[in-house]
Amino acid sequence: MRILVYLEKSDVRGGIEVFAERHVARLRGEGHEVEVVSSPGSLFPVPGSWDEVVIHKCSDVAVLEKFPPERSVYYVHDHEPICPRGYAYTPLKRNCSRPGGVWPCIFCAPACRGWKAALKRVFSQRRRIAAMSRFKRLVVISEFMKSRLAANGIPPDKIEVKPPTITFQLTHSRLPTSPVDLLYVGQLIRGKGVHLLLAAMAGMKSPRTLDIVGTGNMERKLKALAAKLGLEGRVRFNGFQSNPQDWMRAAKCVVVPSFWQEPYGLVAAEAVALGRPVVAFAVGGLPEACQGKAKLVPPGDVGALAAALDGQVL
């Protein structure tokens, strides 16, 4: 089969891009002819020689409407296609389960995107859902995300649940010279809840240590918060590492403190597959990613997170 893969951003390497990269590798390994494009300018009209078009991210509804619906498969990785704000939580940092639309999104979205971009997203939402509903198939990574799409008007029979394939590579890259006790792996952005994990560390009875692997726009604030909480000797910021799975192998426990509604939670799934203990908030798709093999605590409950980490059998 000849498959054309559209990935919106070629200069970013986040979770979506890693997923798409692995997906392309798997398709080629199965013998398919695959081409990856990231510029819509030279894409349309899509040549009829391509048997299938796989879309891994497309924020612009005008571009989305140009894909041939009878040949297009849309992989929904996050809340952006169904939430005008993009994160499925409100400006007050509360998770939202309402379907996207004009009300109340018109007051919520601008807090994140600014008025001009927010109004464009809000008033194009029905067009976006209509375009997605016409596609051959939509693929999501959890039953949680299927329920979110269905709540937004996507026909359930068009939605396929396909959790990410977990693959491992032992890279023998740099590891810490001291043992890894608690480990956080991921972006340092607000929705990932690292600030809640630091607060839990400050409230713990045991002096456990935490290694943080990742970077993001909250890094400076998180370092300042760690210092303010008196955690300098217990928290290490290790920056981006190309071998996070090696760090997981070395950890006594992997913590996933996301308070936003994770569509799945690849870090949690990888840690479970590696046989590592996991402590996480029970939010979004994380319970599915943990497969019943993790200690789950109420979302955003810092005291419960501290107690779970204190009570973990080492």
Instruction: Note the pLDDT of residue 314.
Output: 54
125-134 and 115-123 helices, crossing angle to 10°: 50
Residue where one domain finishes, among candidates 161, 193, 223? 161
Q: Do 253 and 295 fall into the same domain?
A: yes
Q: Do 13 and 156 fall into the same domain?
A: yes
**Buried b or exposed e, range 122-146, using 16+ CB within 10 angstroms:** bebbeebbebbeebeebbbbbebbb
Q: Do 57 and 155 fall into the same domain?
A: yes
How far is 277 from 307, CA to CA, in rounded Å? 15
Q: Which residues partner with 74 through β-bridges?
A: 55, 138
Q: Mean pLDDT over residues 269-283, rounded?
A: 96
**Total-model pTM:** 0.90
Is residue 21 predicted with pLDDT exceeding 60?
Answer: yes
Q: Do 13 and 153 fall into the same domain?
A: yes
- Which residues span the domain enclosing 140? 2-161
In-domain check, residue 38: yes
Q: Do 48 and 133 fall into the same domain?
A: yes
Q: Do 147 and 233 fall into the same domain?
A: no
Q: Do 285 and 146 fall into the same domain?
A: no
Instruction: Note the pLDDT of residue 113.
Output: 67
Greater confidence (29 vs 41) lies with: 29
In-domain check, residue 145: yes
CATH number of the domain within which 282 lies: 3.40.50.2000
In-domain check, residue 263: yes
List pLDDT tens digits, range 26-36.
999 999 999 99
Lowest mean pLDDT among 5-19, 77-91, 229-243, 250-264: 5-19
List pLDDT tens digits, range 285-310.
999 999 999 999 999 999 999 999 99
Structure tokens at 158: 């068009």
Residue where one domain finishes, among candidates 161, 195, 211? 161
Of 136, 10, 130, the C-alpha closest to 62 is: 130
In-domain check, residue 10: yes
In-domain check, residue 97: yes
How far is 106 from 124, CA to CA, in rounded Å? 12
How far is 226 from 168, CA to CA, in rounded Å? 32
Instruction: Note the pLDDT of residue 86.
Output: 85
Average pLDDT, the chain: 91
Structure tokens at 90: 């409100």
Q: Do 153 and 11 fall into the same domain?
A: yes
Is residue 41 predicted with pLDDT exceeding 90?
Answer: no
In-domain check, residue 117: yes
The bridge status of strand 137-140 relative to strand 159-161 is: parallel
In-domain check, residue 245: yes
Q: Do 221 and 249 fall into the same domain?
A: yes
Q: Do 235 and 149 fall into the same domain?
A: no
Instruction: Note the pLDDT of residue 173.
Output: 59
302-310 and 194-203 helices, crossing angle to 10°: 60
How far is 57 from 34, CA to CA, in rounded Å? 17
Greater confidence (265 vs 178) lies with: 265
Residue where one domain finishes, among candidates 161, 188, 218? 161
Indicate the pLDDT class of residue 120, thresholds 50, 70 and 90.
Answer: confident
Instruction: Note the pLDDT of residue 175.
Output: 66
Residue linked to tokens 């951003």 = 9
Which one-letter amino acid corresponds to residue 85? R
Number of domains in the chain: 2
Q: Do 11 and 107 fall into the same domain?
A: yes
In-domain check, residue 66: yes
Instruction: Note the pLDDT of residue 170.
Output: 57
Q: In what order do the strands lie in the sheet with 251-256?
A: 235-237, 210-213, 180-185, 251-256, 278-281, 295-297
How far is 205 from 307, CA to CA, in rounded Å? 8
List pLDDT tens digits, range 74-110.
999 999 999 988 888 887 778 898 888 888 788 888 8
How far is 108 from 85, CA to CA, in rounded Å? 7
How far is 60 from 124, CA to CA, in rounded Å? 9
Q: Do 10 and 153 fall into the same domain?
A: yes
CATH number of the domain within which 140 lies: 3.40.50
